C-alpha cells in the first residue's frame, strides 16, 4: 500500500526559444505574466493550493532571474521542514553533463525521491497559465489504480503536432501515446480535436524509479519521447481529463477550464487579453484559489490625471495628466508621462514612457526608456529595424540597460 506523501518536481529548465527576446536573459518560467506574476507562479500556486508542498524546481537555462524570484516569493514556511520550494540546478550527479532532457533531470535527482520516500511523485511543467486542483488528479490516479496518470485536454488538431497526443478509452486508460506526431490522431468524439498531454504527470514512485533506471541504461532522456511510450507497453497509464477539474470560486463569466501554453510571442500577447475586461475569461483574483507571487513592499499606483480604460496598473506606477491608456497592462514602477498614449500594450517593470510617445500593440520588457514623442507599433518595417516584431505583428522591445531609474 502506497503512503500518502507526494513530492513534486517542477520542470523549469526549458529555453523558451520561441519567446525570444523575452527569454534572452531569463528562462520561460521566469517571464513576467499579467500585472504581477511570473509564469512559474501558476504551477507553484496550483501545487501549494493542492497541499503538495514539497517542491523541487529543476532549473538550468539562464536561471538567475528564476532563482531570485523563488527566493523573494516562495518561502512557504520557515517552520515546517517538509514545506518548501527548493531550486535544484544541474550538479553533474550522473556524469559530466547538464540535464539532457526532462527525464534525465529527474533521474539526476533521484536521491531526493529516495530521501523522502513518497508514495507518489508529481512531475509538472512550469510553462503554462492555468488553475488546477491537482488533488482531483491524484484521486483519479488512485481510483483507477494507475501506475502513471497524464493530465490531458483537447486541442485543435492543427496545433496537436506540438504536443504529446493520447488515445484513451472511456475509462481514461491510455491506448496510444505519441510525442509530437506529424499526423496526430483525432478524438473519436470530435475529429477536429486531439487529446493532448499537458506535460503534467503523477507517477507511482517505484514505477518512476525503475523507468528512469531503464531510460538511463538505454541512453534516453525525455518523458514524452522515451519514458511514457516505454511504460505504456507494460504498465497502466491513464489520462486525467482536465475538463473535469473544478476550482472553487471560479466566476460564471470565466472559461471553466482555462489552460494556455504561452509558447510564442503571439500566444503570450493574446493570453493577456484574457485577464482584462470587466468579466475576464481568466480572472486571476480568486480568493479561494490564490495565485501567489512576490510580496512587493512598495506603494500603490498613483494616477495624477489622464484617461485610463480597461487597464491594469501595477504597484508604484505613476501616470501623469494627459496620458491615455487603453486595454493595457502596466507592471510595477512604470512612469507614464504627459500625453503618452498606450493602446494594447504590456509594459513591464521599471519602464518610463516619455511624454507624447505613442505605442500600439507593443510589449516593453523591463528597464526601458521610451523617448519623448517616439512612435512604436504603427510601422512594422520600421519597428523591425529597431526592435523585434512577432509574426502576428506585436512589437517587442527587449529588456533594457537602464540601470539608474530617475523618478524626478
Ligand atoms: P514540451 O513543452 O515541448 O512538451 P519540453 O521542452 O521538454 O517539452 O518542456 C517540458 C517542461 O520541462 C517545460 O516546463 C520546460 O521548461 C522543462 N524542461 C525542458 N527541458 C528541461 C531540462 N533539460 N531540465 C529541466 N527542465 C526542462 C511537453 C511534453 C508534451 C506535452 C507538452 C505540453 O513533452 O507531451 O504535450 O509538454 O505543453
Give Dmax (Cα) for the chain: 68
Residue 137 in domain: yes
Statement to judge: residues 251 and 319 lie in one domain: no
Statement to judge: residues 225 and 324 lie in one domain: no
Q: What is the ipTM of this complex?
A: 0.97
Q: Among the atoms of ligand 1, which is closest to the Cα of residue 105?
A: 24
Distance CA 98, CA 84 (A): 24
Residue 275 in domain: no
Per-residue pLDDT tens digits for 124-143: 999 999 999 999 999 999 99
Q: Using pLDDT thresholds of 50, 70 and 90, give the confidence band for residue 1.
A: low
Measured in Å, residue 407 CA sits from the centre of ligand 1 at 41
Give pLDDT, residue 100.
86
Distance CA 320, CA 357 (A): 13
261 lines ligand 1 (CB under 6 A): yes
Statement to judge: residues 116 and 25 lie in one domain: yes
Residue 193: give its domain's CATH number: 3.90.550.10
Task: Decide if 308 contacts 291 (C-beta within 8 A).
Answer: no
Residue 282 in domain: no
Q: Which of 126, 44, 127, 119 is nearest to 85 (CA)?
A: 44
Q: Is 80 exposed, middle or buried (0-12, 13-18, 19+ CB in 10 A)?
A: exposed
Q: Which of 167, 149, 157 is nearest to 223 (CA)?
A: 149
**Half-sphere exposure for 292 (CA within 13 Å, toward CB):** 16
Residue 284 in domain: no
Residue 128 in domain: yes
Q: Among the atoms of ligand 1, which is closest to the Cα of residue 59?
A: 25
Give pLDDT, residue 401.
63
Residue 336: give its domain's CATH number: 2.160.10.10
Statement to judge: residues 122 and 253 lie in one domain: yes
125 lines ligand 1 (CB under 6 A): yes
Distance CA 39, CA 293 (A): 10
Statement to judge: residues 11 and 143 lie in one domain: yes
Compute the average pLDDT of residues 207-230: 95
228 lines ligand 1 (CB under 6 A): no
Compute the average pLDDT of residues 184-192: 94
Q: Using pLDDT thresholds of 50, 70 and 90, give the confidence band for residue 77.
A: confident
Statement to judge: residues 238 and 387 lie in one domain: no
Q: Among the atoms of ligand 1, which is closest to the Cα of residue 164?
A: 35
Distance CA 23, CA 36 (A): 18
Per-residue pLDDT tens digits for 24-38: 999 999 999 999 999
pLDDT over 70, % of the chain = 98
Compute the average pLDDT of residues 142-166: 97
126 lines ligand 1 (CB under 6 A): yes
Task: Decide if 356 contacts 339 (C-beta within 8 A).
Answer: yes
- For 68-128, the DSSP string reads HHHHHH----SS-TT-EEEEE----TTSS----SHHHHHHTTHHHHHHH--SEEEEEES-E
Compute the average pLDDT of residues 6-24: 93
Residue 71 in domain: yes
> Would strands 335-336 and 351-353 be described as parallel, antiparallel, or unpaired?
parallel
Q: Is 305 helix (H, G, I), strand (E, B) or coil?
A: coil
pLDDT at 364 over 60: yes
Statement to judge: residues 78 and 225 lie in one domain: yes
198 lines ligand 1 (CB under 6 A): yes
Angle separating helix axes 40-49 and 64-73, nearest 10 degrees? 40
Q: Which of 210, 229, 261 is the last residue of a domain?
A: 261
32 lines ligand 1 (CB under 6 A): no
Statement to judge: residues 242 and 312 lie in one domain: no
pLDDT over 90, % of the chain = 87
Residues belonging to the chain: 408
Q: Which of 261, 281, 315 is the last residue of a domain?
A: 261
Distance CA 231, CA 371 (A): 57
pLDDT at 347 over 90: yes
Taking all residues of the chain, what is their mean pLDDT, rounded to a whole number? Answer: 94
Q: Using pLDDT thresholds of 50, 70 and 90, give the confidence band for residue 407.
A: very low
The H or E element spanning position 382 is helix 380-386
Compute the average pLDDT of residues 369-377: 96
Q: Which of 202, 234, 261 is the last residue of a domain?
A: 261
Of 98-107, 112-121, 236-245, 370-379, the one with minimum mean pLDDT is 98-107
197 lines ligand 1 (CB under 6 A): yes
Number of structural domains found in the chain: 2
Of all protein residues, the one whose alpha carbon is nearest to atom 35 of ligand 1 is: 164
Q: Using pLDDT thresholds of 50, 70 and 90, give the confidence band for residue 403.
A: very low
Give pLDDT, residue 406.
42
* DSSP code for 287: T
Task: Decide if 228 contacts 106 (C-beta within 8 A).
Answer: no
**Half-sphere exposure for 386 (CA within 13 Å, toward CB):** 15
Residue 254 in domain: yes
Task: Decide if 290 contacts 307 (C-beta within 8 A).
Answer: no
Q: Count CB neighbours of 254 within 10 A.
A: 18
Statement to judge: residues 247 and 354 lie in one domain: no
Rounded CA Rg of the chain: 22
Task: Decide if 44 contacts 37 (C-beta within 8 A).
Answer: no
Give pLDDT, residue 89.
86
Using most ligand atoms within 8 A of CB, pick from 224, 239, 268 the residue to mutate for ligand 1: 224
Q: Using pLDDT thresholds of 50, 70 and 90, give the confidence band for residue 226.
A: very high
pLDDT at 349 over 90: yes
Residue 253 domain boundaries: 6-261
Statement to judge: residues 47 and 96 lie in one domain: yes
Measured in Å, residue 163 CA sits from the centre of ligand 1 at 10
Statement to judge: residues 21 and 135 lie in one domain: yes
263 lines ligand 1 (CB under 6 A): no
The H or E element spanning position 139 is helix 134-143
Q: Using pLDDT thresholds of 50, 70 and 90, give the confidence band for residue 263.
A: confident
Residue 43 in domain: yes
Single pTM value for the model: 0.96
Statement to judge: residues 199 and 74 lie in one domain: yes
- For 198-264, the DSSP string reads EEEEEEEHHHHHHHHHHHHHTT---IIIIIHHHHHTTS-EEEEEGGG---TT--TTS-SS-EEE--S
Give pLDDT, residue 402.
56
201 lines ligand 1 (CB under 6 A): no
pLDDT at 405 over 70: no
154 lines ligand 1 (CB under 6 A): no
Give pLDDT, residue 404.
44
Of 6-10, 88-92, 310-314, the one with minimum mean pLDDT is 88-92
Torsion of CA 250, 252, 254, 256, to 10 degrees: 70
Amino acid at each position: 500500500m502506497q503512503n500518502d506523501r507526494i513530492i513534486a518536481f517542477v520542470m523549469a529548465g526549458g529555453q523558451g526559444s520561441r519567446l525570444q527576446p523575452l527569454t534572452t536573459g531569463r528562462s520561460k518560467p521566469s517571464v513576467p505574466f499579467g500585472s504581477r506574476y511570473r509564469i512559474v507562479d501558476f504551477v507553484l500556486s496550483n501545487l501549494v493550493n493542492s497541499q503538495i508542498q514539497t517542491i523541487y524546481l529543476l532549473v538550468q537555462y539562464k536561471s538567475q532571474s528564476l532563482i531570485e524570484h523563488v527566493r523573494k516569493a516562495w518561502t512557504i514556511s520557515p517552520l515546517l521542514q517538509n514545506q518548501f520550494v527548493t531550486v535544484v540546478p544541474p550538479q553533474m550527479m550522473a556524469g559530466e553533463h547538464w540535464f539532457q532532457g526532462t527525464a534525465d533531470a529527474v533521474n539526476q535527482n533521484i536521491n531526493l525521491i529516495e530521501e523522502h520516500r513518497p508514495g507518489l511523485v508529481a512531475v509538472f511543467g512550469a510553462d503554462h497559465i492555468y488553475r488546477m486542483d491537482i488533488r482531483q488528479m491524484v484521486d483519479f490516479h488512485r481510483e483507477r489504480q494507475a501506475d502513471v496518470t497524464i493530465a490531458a485536454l483537447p486541442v485543435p488538431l492543427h496545433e496537436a503536432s506540438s504536443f504529446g497526443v493520447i488515445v484513451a478509452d472511456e475509462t481514461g486508460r491510455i491506448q496510444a501515446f505519441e510525442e509530437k506526431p506529424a499526423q496526430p490522431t483525432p478524438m473519436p468524439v470530435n475529429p477536429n480535436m486531439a487529446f493532448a498531454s499537458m506535460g503534467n504527470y503523477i507517477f507511482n514512485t517505484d514505477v518512476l524509479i525503475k523507468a528512469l533506471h531503464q531510460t538511463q541504461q538505454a541512453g534516453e532522456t525525455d518523458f514524452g519521447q522515451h519514458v511514457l511510450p516505454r511504460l505504456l507497453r507494460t504498465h497502466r497509464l491513464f489520462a486525467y481529463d482536465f475538463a473535469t477539474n473544478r476550482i472553487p470560486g471560479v466566476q460564471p463569466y470565466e472559461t471553466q477550464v482555462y489552460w494556455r501554453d504561452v509558447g510564442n510571442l503571439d500566444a503570450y500577447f493574446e493570453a493577456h487579453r484574457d485577464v482584462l475586461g470587466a468579466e475576464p475569461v481568466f480572472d486571476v483574483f480568486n480568493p479561494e484559489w490564490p495565485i501567489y507571487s512576490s510580496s512587493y513592499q512598495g506603494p500603490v499606483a498613483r494616477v495624477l490625471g489622464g484617461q485610463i480604460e480597461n487597464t491594469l496598473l501595477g504597484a508604484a506606477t505613476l501616470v501623469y495628466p494627459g496620458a491615455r491608456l487603453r486595454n493595457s497592462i502596466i507592471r510595477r514602477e512604470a512612469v507614464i508621462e504627459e500625453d503618452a498614449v498606450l493602446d494594447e500594450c504590456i509594459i513591464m517593470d521599471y519602464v518610463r514612457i516619455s511624454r507624447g510617445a505613442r505605442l500600439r500593440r507593443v510589449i516593453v520588457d523591463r528597464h526601458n526608456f521610451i523617448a519623448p514623442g517616439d512612435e512604436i507599433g504603427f510601422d512594422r518595417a520600421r519597428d523591425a529595424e529597431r526592435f523585434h516584431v512577432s509574426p502576428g505583428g506585436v512589437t517587442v522591445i527587449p529588456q533594457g540597460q537602464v540601470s539608474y531609474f530617475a523618478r524626478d
